[in-house]
Amino acid sequence: MPADEISQRHALILDAVHRLLRRGAMRHLGRMVNKMHPAEVAKVVRHLDDAAAKRTVVGLMGRMEDRAAVICELDGDSIVAVFTEMTRADQLAVLYELSTDDAADVLGELPPELAAQLIDQMPHNESNEVAGLLSYPEETAGGIMTTEILAVPTTTTCGEALLRLQAAAEAEMVFYIYVVDGDGVLKGVLSLRELLTMPPDKPVGEVMVSPAIRARVDMDQEEVARLTARYNLLAVPVVDADEHLVGIITVDDVIDVIREEATEDMLKMSGTGVDAEYTLSVGSLQAARLRLPWLMANVLGGVVTAWVMTQFTHTLETVLALVAFVPVSMALGGSLGLQSSTIMVRGLATGQIELGDVRRVFFREVRVGAMIGAVCGLLVGSVALVWRDPWVGMVVGASLLLSSCVAVTIGTLTPILFQRLRIDPAVSSGPLVTTLNDVTGLTVYLTVATVMLAYVAPPA
């Protein structure tokens, strides 16, 4: 189904839910939501403003497993609004229906006291697994993995492994059979297809792929996503510092990570904050608080730009026509710098650009900037030549060429510098790079004008 049709369908569903809620037609609303996929219900709930309405819609789901599927798809505020008002029996029933990683995600959004009480009341083996997952930092491999895995010893035959597979009802998304030694150390991996084609009496240790691609529990979730994409995996095993297999990360969790990281990068690059849950639920005051610190960079840049212009008062007073072309120089430099920084940020984030590629990418961007600057400089310089005089055209053309090269240099090197300092390169984009390019572009423009005024300008 095309994206516009999906969007229109969701709008119609949301409008219908609002109308049924206003009329109090709970029976009709219940029939409607129970015919929908839990992911669609979750999307509706996320867009309801009233917490009571969120609880009503989720409460109309007839099966507890459907309620659980909806709740684990909600954002943090909606989870708190819905889950905290459920009875304790229903809360535990929802957690029972969820996999350990999803249960840990839900509990991580709840008030700590409530989460601790629920963990204490869960079955002992489940509570230990969930508590273990909650002990890992949120955005690491350990924080997003599930412990419901299928692992067999190296001496297990393929036939025995198949029998264990048939009995492993709780193992999540069994795409691979993981092979461990007697101490639980990961030794290799065997795909389900390979397992089915092997002789039943063949030990898995003889046919497994070794070493297996794996992630450490402390690996950043963004690196896990890159690992999954690079090797086209459906699941990634997770090991501790001693190489013991402790869990797996499945492709559905990786997709969530890619979405979260992309959202976070876009918010950082636009200067609207770093919260990936920046949605319509964010109030006006909180939105202003998130945006203001980043926009202060623009204010500071404007002050510095004003100061720069005061340093070239004589040049501007001598040739007042130069002022008319200041916005052109600043706009071109800002746009070029933002383009270069965006290319670098996404390249570094996706792994398409490694630090070893910096030299080649830098010189390519400088060449691109020089060509664009030359074309724009020739065009705008010709306009200035016809409109004002040849001297102004020379100044505008030369300054656009130089400021373009400076802009791509800043846009390319700033994300790399942030990467070296172990700061997210996305922070360097948006307001920061734009402000730097405004200041440097204006400085280059007026410096070129001053030099040319002193040496090559025609006598007044």
CATH no. for residue 27?
1.25.60.10
DSSP string, 277-315: T-STTS-HHHHHHHHHHHHHHHHHHHHHHHHHHHHTHHH
Judge whether 422 lies within some domain.
yes
Please give the tally of structural domains in the chain.
3
Find, among 185, 122, 123, 125, the residue nearest to 153 by Cα. 185
Local structure of 239: helix, strand or coil = strand
- The first and second tokens of residue 450, run together, are 């001053």
The larger pLDDT score, comparing residue 334 to residue 270, is at 334
Pairing of strands 245-250, 235-239: antiparallel
Residue type, 51: A
Last residue of a domain, one of 85, 104, 135: 135
What b/e sequence results for 67-98 when a residue is b if at least 16 CB atoms lie within 10 Å of its CB, and e otherwise?
bbbbbbbbbebbbbbbbeebeeeebeebbebb
Mean pLDDT value of segment 417-430? 73
Judge whether 270 lies within some domain.
no
Judge whether 374 lies within some domain.
yes
Mean pLDDT value of segment 367-382? 87
Judge whether 142 lies within some domain.
no
**Residue 336 and residue 411 in contact, taking contact as beta carbons nearer than 8 Å:** yes
CA distance 134 to 109: 11
Mean pLDDT value of segment 313-321? 77
Judge whether 232 lies within some domain.
yes
Last residue of a domain, one of 214, 244, 259: 259
Alpha-helix runs per DSSP H in 24-61: 26-34, 38-46, 51-59
Taking only the tens place, the pLDDT of each residue in 47-87 is 888 888 899 999 888 889 999 999 988 888 889 988 888 88
Residue type, 183: D
The larger pLDDT score, comparing residue 266 to residue 344, is at 344
Mean pLDDT value of segment 289-308? 79
Last residue of a domain, one of 259, 274, 304: 259
3-class SS string, 248-274: EEEHHHHHHHHHHHHHHHHHHHHCCCC
**Residue 384 and residue 392 in contact, taking contact as beta carbons nearer than 8 Å:** yes
Taking only the tens place, the pLDDT of each residue in 78-119 is 899 888 888 899 899 988 888 888 888 889 888 989 989 999
Judge whether 277 lies within some domain.
no
Q: CATH number of the domain that 332 lies in?
A: 1.10.357.20
| Proportion of the chain above pLDDT 70, given as a percent | 87
> Does 80 share its domain with 180?
no
Res 276 pLDDT > 50: no
Taking only the tens place, the pLDDT of each residue in 151-190 is 899 999 999 988 888 887 666 666 888 999 988 999 999 8
Taking only the tens place, the pLDDT of each residue in 187-244 is 999 888 888 889 999 999 999 988 889 999 999 888 888 888 888 888 899 999 999 9
CA distance 143 to 101: 8
- Return the sign of the alpha-carbon dihedral for residues 194, 198, 200, 205: negative
Res 327 pLDDT > 50: yes
Distances (CA, A) of 128 to 83, 147, 168, 258, 298: 21, 11, 20, 28, 49
- For residue 268, the model assigns a pLDDT of 63
> Does 164 share its domain with 131?
no
> Does 123 share its domain with 181?
no
What is the pTM for the complete model shown?
0.63
pLDDT tier at 146, thresholds 50, 70, 90: confident
Judge whether 265 lies within some domain.
no
- For residue 51, the model assigns a pLDDT of 87
Mean pLDDT value of segment 358-381? 87
> Does 76 share its domain with 161?
no
Contacts of 101 (CB under 8 A, 6+ apart): 133, 144, 145, 146, 147, 247, 253
- For residue 269, the model assigns a pLDDT of 60
Mean pLDDT value of segment 425-435? 70
Q: Which domain holds residue 185?
A: 151-259
In a 10 Å sphere around its CB, with 0-12 CB exposed, 13-18 middle and 19+ buried, how is residue 245 labelled?
buried
- Return the sign of the alpha-carbon dihedral for residues 274, 280, 281, 285: positive
> Does 10 share its domain with 82?
yes
Local structure of 216: helix, strand or coil = strand
**Residue 214 and residue 186 in contact, taking contact as beta carbons nearer than 8 Å:** yes
> Does 131 share its domain with 13?
yes
pLDDT tier at 458, thresholds 50, 70, 90: low
> Does 207 share its domain with 302?
no
Local structure of 117: helix, strand or coil = helix
**Residue 405 and residue 369 in contact, taking contact as beta carbons nearer than 8 Å:** yes
- The first and second tokens of residue 67, run together, are 């309620």
Please give the mean pLDDT across all residues of the chain. 82
Res 322 pLDDT > 80: no
CA distance 391 to 458: 8
pLDDT tier at 418, thresholds 50, 70, 90: confident
Q: CATH number of the domain that 166 lies in?
A: 3.10.580.10
CA distance 249 to 148: 10
> Does 304 share its domain with 403?
yes
> Does 365 share its domain with 331?
yes
List the beta bridge partners of residue 247: 238
> Does 112 share its domain with 169?
no
**Residue 419 and residue 425 in contact, taking contact as beta carbons nearer than 8 Å:** yes
**Residue 429 and residue 341 in contact, taking contact as beta carbons nearer than 8 Å:** yes
In a 10 Å sphere around its CB, with 0-12 CB exposed, 13-18 middle and 19+ buried, how is residue 333 labelled?
buried
Rg (CA), the chain: 29
CA distance 147 to 237: 10
- For residue 157, the model assigns a pLDDT of 93
> Does 169 share its domain with 241?
yes
Judge whether 204 lies within some domain.
yes
- For residue 165, the model assigns a pLDDT of 84
> Does 314 share its domain with 446?
yes
- For residue 191, the model assigns a pLDDT of 87
